[in-house]
Every structure is written in C-alpha cells, then in structure tokens.
C-alpha cells in the first residue's frame, strides 16, 4: 500500500487554510498547512519534498513568484498551484514555472482537478 500524496498549503488566512485542508484531506491526500512562506520553506528543508504545493499568491513575507523561484531551485517548480484573489496576476503565475493558477474563490471541483493534474504530471 502506498502512502497518500502530501500537499503543502500556504495561505495567511486561517479560514482558507482550514477549508482547503479539509477539502484536500477528504479527497484522500495528506495535508500540511502553513501561514507563512518561511514556515513552508522550513518544512521542506526538514522533510521529504511535498508532492504538490498550493500557494496564496499574495503573502505578507514573500509573494508567490518569489516562493516559486525558491521552489524551482529546489526542483519543485512543476508541483505548484497558485491561488489569488486578484486575476491581474494570472498570466505571471501561469507563465512562471509552468504552475497552475486559480482565482479565489476557486470552486471545489477546480481545486481538486488542479491538484490531480499536478500530481499526475
């Protein structure tokens, strides 16, 4: 039996982390949620790499592209899904490192489909 695929979720809004974490766990994935990019990067340094990273695009410490650049250097660039409340950043997110991009509020089906694509690819 294989272990569930691990998803790291980063969002500075506690409600978003809780709701997305619940959705992803219900779909059978293991989820670790973080409120800052620094917490995410510390977790990646301390454990095996996640299978997928879901990032809030506009974080207080580092923005999504800055985090993406760090993850690309660590070999995780194709495992990223951006979430953003602003559709103005969609082209930058989509062109940057072949990441998925979803505008908030994303529908449940959109989130699950994006995670499935990242995990498959």
Is residue 1 in some structural domain? no
Closest CA to 19 of 105, 115, 119: 105
Is residue 52 in some structural domain? yes
Is residue 88 in some structural domain? yes
Convert the pLDDT of each residue in 16-33 to its tens digit. Answer: 999 999 999 999 999 999
Residue corresponding to tokens 């498959």:
120
Domain that residue 28 falls in? 6-120
Q: CA 58: distance to chain centroid? A: 12
Is residue 113 in some structural domain? yes
Convert the pLDDT of each residue in 37-64 to its tens digit. Answer: 999 999 988 888 899 999 998 888 888 8
Q: What is the CATH number of the domain that holds 20?
A: 3.40.50.2300
Report the domain count for the chain.
1
Is residue 20 in some structural domain? yes
């Amino acid at each position: 039996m294989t272990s569930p695929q691990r998803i790291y979720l980063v969002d500075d809004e506690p409600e978003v982390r809780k709701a997305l974490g619940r959705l992803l766990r219900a779909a059978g994935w293991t989820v670790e949620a973080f409120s800052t990019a620094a917490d995410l990067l510390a977790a990646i340094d301390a454990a095996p790499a996640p299978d997928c990273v879901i990032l809030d695009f506009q974080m207080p410490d580092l923005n999504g592209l800055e985090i993406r650049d760090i993850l690309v250097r660590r070999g995780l660039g194709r495992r990223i899904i951006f979430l953003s409340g602003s559709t103005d950043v969609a082209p930058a997110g989509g062109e940057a490192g072949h990441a998925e991009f979803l505008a908030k509020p994303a529908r449940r089906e959109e989130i699950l489909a994006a995670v499935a694509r990242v995990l498959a690819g």
